[in-house]
Amino acid sequence: MKKFVAFAFIIFSFTMLCIFVAEKTDVMGLSKMHLNTTFLPEEDGRLSLSWERLPYPCFYKIEIYAKTTGLVKDAPEYRMVASEFTLDSSYDLPRTAIPMYYRVSAYGMFGRIKDPSEYIANPNFPQPAHPMPIYKYSAKNPASLMPFLVWHCVPNAVCYEVELLSGLPDAEGGTALSKKNHLYSTREVFTNGWQADLRPYYKAQNVIYWRARALGLHHEPIGEFSDAEPITIDPAKPFPDHPLINNFDQMPNFEQPLYPVFEWIPLHGVNRYEVELMVHPPAAENNTLPTEDRAWHQTVTNASACYDEYPRPYAGEYYWRVRGVDDKGNTIGTYSDSEEFIVKEHDSGIFAAVFGDSITHGGGAMSYSPASLEYSYNTYLDFPAINLGRSGDTSHTSLERFEQDVIPFHPKNLLILTGTNSLRAEEISAEDVIADIRAMRDLCNRNNIRPIFLTLMPIHPKNIAYAFHAETDPEWHDKMNTINAYIREQPYFIDLEPYFYDKTNTVMDYGFSIDGLHPDIRGKMLMGEIINKHRDLLAD
């Protein structure tokens, strides 16, 4: 028996030595081989990356990156978002709403044996920018006469123009409606999907084409029209009769903020919607009656998103769904599919939280809510932090909810950015905001929380007036200077203000904020990068 064990040990040691030599001396020429990667055809918004296996037993590491703004000194060009190992030769990529880049490397038993591939760009963010269809209707998968047309979001698009055609357009791309084969167009599309009504055109046309382009605040084009996409129609197919949950371009590791927000793609011609929240799945999917013991519900008009006015701090599983309703509250069609989200268990004494108004809560480019995490600066932080923001807060309403929403989590570090809405109001003085900030600082100190204040960023009153039809206090800049001077006297602060001015050095740069108030994707990225640079301010 001892001889057998000794022999087995010798064989094992020899095998390990051979593997070590193969991996570390490159006797097999592995370093000269290329990991040839390719994207597999997308299916309903799901994208996969594939590569050729190396002729050696190994596993693979997939790294996911986002590009940084390049505006913060010493920040890397790419920031890693996630990484994962697999034994397969393909990987289902997490959904994303911003351009992502991927690298694949090979590992053996003794470490990496093949350097990462070049950065590979996600193909759903082409240049020039144009929407990329998610739903496709072929002869094998025909559409009804009222299909949902769904595409990948174009970053910072305020709305979209959709065109229906009887055939191919004059030319693909471009920014002008087609003179040839044009049937219908609309610019009243404020999310990345639209339920088309093809009934007026079907008799004359068995196959109808559609395309879309992204538009900015003033309906200026963002990029070009997408390539015309054919819709094969089956007139006997039932119409979709419930709103479509909009989770197509969620950022990886989606997590609702403390005050959740729910998004969907509306039904054609339906203007009123009711969202209900439950702590268990509904008794039946796609039914017409409200859940008897639902925890909360709210009706909204002319919207594709609904804001929960209550915080949801308690750990557990939650479910929500939405239905169209008429003026009497009767269901139009049926309820949508139910969608789950999970509130994680947080021990008292979490590392960090972010607190403040809508700039913290998230959202931007007019049409994106805090459910679109690409518009949350929290998404771009290099450390974990829960989002305790609430849209609409003034500095005083932030203070009023501080003990309810912050103290139970007892974060070691609290990033505080509030007061921008107070800048806009003539009846609120700089001294009022400073008093609120001082009170929040004192609450933090009494509860052993490190308050890290972020200076207020400039705003753009003309763009705010255009976007929200609301006036701004003419003295906003003087108020901001006074408030920020006080913030800079605090033991812990991060100075955001200087980064966000336009060339006149007087107002918010349009490139950071379309509506003049809420930083958009690039602005939220920049906020995260500035905070990451000051990571040493945070208590460990």
In the chain, what are the domains? 22-121 (2.60.40.10), 148-232 (2.60.40), 244-343 (2.60.40.10), 352-537 (3.40.50.1110)
- The reported pLDDT for the residue numbered 52 is 87
List b or e across 43-79, with b for residues whose CB sees 16 or more CB atoms inside 10 angstroms: eebebebebeebeeebebbbbbbbbbbeebeebeeeb
Task: Evaluate whether 296 touches 224 at the Cβ level (below 8 Å).
Answer: no
Task: Give residue-wise pLDDT tens across range 156-195.
Answer: 999 999 999 999 999 999 999 999 999 999 999 999 999 9
Task: Evaluate whether 441 touches 491 at the Cβ level (below 8 Å).
Answer: no
Whether the bond into 128 is cis, omega within 30 of 0:
yes
- The reported pLDDT for the residue numbered 18 is 47
- The reported pLDDT for the residue numbered 153 is 95
Rounded CA gap, 230 and 26, in Å?
51
Token couple for 186:
């609309």
Task: Give residue-wise pLDDT tens across range 288-332.
Answer: 999 999 999 999 999 999 999 999 999 999 999 999 999 999 999
Task: Evaluate whether 519 touches 457 at the Cβ level (below 8 Å).
Answer: yes
**By percentage, how much of the chain surpasses pLDDT 70?**
93
- The reported pLDDT for the residue numbered 258 is 97
- The reported pLDDT for the residue numbered 111 is 67
Rounded CA gap, 453 and 437, in Å?
9
Rounded CA gap, 511 and 156, in Å?
10
Residue 496: is its pLDDT beyond 90? yes
Residue ranges in 285-383 assigned as alpha helix (H): 358-361
Task: Evaluate whether 65 touches 101 at the Cβ level (below 8 Å).
Answer: yes
- The reported pLDDT for the residue numbered 142 is 95
26 dihedral zone (left: phi>0; alpha: psi -120 to 50; beta): left
Rounded CA gap, 532 and 525, in Å?
10
Angle at 470 between CA 464 and CA 472, to 5 degrees: 70
Task: Evaluate whether 352 touches 413 at the Cβ level (below 8 Å).
Answer: yes
Q: How many CB atoms lie within 10 A of CB 211?
A: 27
Task: Evaluate whether 377 touches 387 at the Cβ level (below 8 Å).
Answer: no
pLDDT band at 26 (very low <50, low <70, confident <90, very high): low
**What is the 3-class SS of 139-197, one letter each residue?**
CCCCECCCCEEEECCCCCCCEEEEEEECCCCCCCCCCCCCCCCEEEEEEEECCCEEECC
Q: How many CB atoms lie within 10 A of CB 291?
A: 21
